[in-house]
Amino acid sequence: MNSGLFWVIATYGSLVGIRVIGNLILTRLLHPEMFGTIALVNAVILGINMFADVGVRDAVINSHRHQDKNFVNTAWTLSVIRGFIVFAVVLILAYPFEILLGVEGIWPVIAVSGLSLIAYSCMSTKVFSAERDIDLKMISLLEIGAQFIGMIIMIGLAWWWQSVWALAVGTIITTSILMSSYMFLLPGPRNKFHWDKDAVWEVFKLGRWILISTAGTFLVLQGDRFVARYFTSVELLGIYSIAIALSSMVIEAAEKVGKKLLYPKYRRVVAEGGELDGVTKKMRFFGVVGSVLICLPVVGFGDWLVQLLYDPRYDAAGWMLQLLIVASMYRAMDSTLKPVFIANNDSFTGMIYEFGKGITYIIAMIIGGIYAGLVGIILAIVVSPMVNQVVLTFYVRKYGIRTTLFDIALMIGAGACVALMWWAVDFNPFAVENPVFVPELSAPDAQHLAH
């Protein structure tokens, strides 16, 4: 467990460093509009991908047949077939999405970006087996290496092309490098095409609800891009995407801990007939304390951080970051309880929670957008997780977990820390105004920033 935790933290820290440094360079080579465009492209690709999730990873980790080559090869075959089907759906929907989003010329970028789904679908099941055993060293090293090489290639393409295509093609190359590394460098036999009817049914039994659950997850993770597009310009969406990328690092770290450490841990507790109540409370307490300690400096000084790292075109991302990091702090709490569902082979309840949460987010953001534009959307993103966390505690009661009052106390404590920090730096979240984007810098300024 300790070794696994070390590699999760080390990997995530390395990936964050690569991403931040890479983005700093990319924002000086490309215009904000391009980041807005790729944010929409990624939202479309991720959305279509998640709406077709059949739960192969969870099936391999959960199944008693996880060492049966016929089972894992069948699961891998299902994943590859799914990848090509999803890519075909992307090709069909690319142009309709251009019309829906109102961004001219985006459909070819969506279509080509769909190639990353084929690469991702070929992920070796050796990855899932290693995660089940919490043997994360080799996976972590390969992930860091692929991200580093991919970022160098993306920066080179951005310098050469000065186009959104650099971001799209760079992502495809990075995904392909990582999947190839998993396939050829991880120890163990490579996957082969195989079809076992019993294995297909076993994957389907778990995955039928995961599909709907991931649809809800998509609404939470990417729905804001679509809603924001209708209340702001593509350029401002690009600035917003910088803020959301920085704030989401906390959620991503928590999700990695939840999937790669807590899920296998909870699964073992359930398999051994143990009680989850004490374990989850402990994980929840340390999770909230860790999130507050990480997020609080950004809550107070996020605007300074953005001004330090980015050129003046992105200044508005500062106050956005100060608000969005609070949402991330509360959303990170999810990762300590959500694994309980799959650990108990209860993907149905997980689906109900995730889908309900996604709908809540979308409705709240639309209402916020109608009344206060982009500011209203961001405030909705901050408030929604607090309600969802309380709802989540009622869903897990069937497993003997009683954390409602405990969670409310944790959230009040975290909220008090946030309010105190905002008071100390004289930041009023209700006084911010929707930004107005300055389209372009002068040519000399742009040239200076590019260098």
Mean pLDDT of the region 224-246:
87
CA-closest candidate to residue 34, choices 129, 83, 106: 106
Mean pLDDT of the region 427-443:
65
Place of tokens 């107005």: 436
Place of tokens 């995407």: 241
pLDDT at 182: 92
Q: Model confidence over 88-113: pLDDT tens digits?
A: 999 999 999 999 888 889 999 999 99
Task: Please report, as a single letter, which amino acid is at residue 54.
Answer: V
Say yes or no to pLDDT of 43 above 60. Answer: yes
Task: Please report, as a single letter, which amino acid is at residue 216.
Answer: G
C-alpha span between 410 and 12 (Å, rounded): 25
Distance of CA 79 to CAs 23, 200, 203, 217, Å?
Answer: 31, 11, 11, 19
| Residue 197: Cβ-neighbour burial (10 angstroms; 0-12, 13-18, 19+) | exposed
Both tokens of 109, joined, read 């970028």
Say yes or no to pLDDT of 118 above 90. Answer: yes
C-alpha span between 39 and 110 (Å, rounded): 11
pLDDT at 443: 34
Instruction: For CA atoms 72, 77, 83, 86, give the dihedral sign.
Output: negative
Both tokens of 28, joined, read 């000086």
CA angle, 347 then 121 then 212, to 5°: 25
| Residue 89: Cβ-neighbour burial (10 angstroms; 0-12, 13-18, 19+) | middle
Question: pLDDT category, 215, cuts 50, 70, 90?
Answer: low
Say yes or no to pLDDT of 291 above 50. Answer: yes
Mean pLDDT of the region 133-142:
84
The CA-based dihedral angle spanning residues 364, 365, 369, 372, taken in that order and rounded to the nearest 10 degrees: 60
pLDDT at 21: 92
Q: Model confidence over 374-408: pLDDT tens digits?
A: 899 999 999 999 999 999 999 999 988 988 898 89
Higher pLDDT, 266 or 151: 151
C-alpha span between 371 and 430 (Å, rounded): 13
Kind and range of the H or E run holding 379: helix 347-395
Say yes or no to pLDDT of 171 above 80. Answer: yes
The DSSP 8-state label assigned to residue 261 in this structure reads I
Higher pLDDT, 211 or 126: 126
DSSP H stretches of helix in 137-276:
137-161, 165-185, 197-229, 234-257, 263-271
C-alpha span between 295 and 289 (Å, rounded): 10
Number of CB atoms found within 10 A of residue 78's CB: 21
Place of tokens 């999760």: 8
Greatest extent of the chain over all pairs of C-alpha atoms, in Å: 68
Q: Among 184-193, 254-263, 350-359, name the most confident range.
A: 184-193
Say yes or no to pLDDT of 420 above 70. Answer: yes
Q: Which percentage of the chain shows pLDDT scores above 90?
A: 39
C-alpha span between 342 and 59 (Å, rounded): 10
Distance of CA 422 to CAs 108, 242, 332, 411, 426, Å?
Answer: 44, 21, 20, 16, 6
The full set of domain ranges for the chain reads 1-225, 231-451
Contact between residue 164 and residue 34 where contact means Cβ atoms under 8 Å apart: yes
pLDDT at 347: 76
Mean pLDDT of the region 188-202:
87
Mean pLDDT of the region 135-147:
89
Say yes or no to pLDDT of 12 above 80. Answer: no
C-alpha span between 29 and 32 (Å, rounded): 10
Both tokens of 427, joined, read 């930041």
Place of tokens 């142009």: 95
Q: What is the chain's length?
A: 451
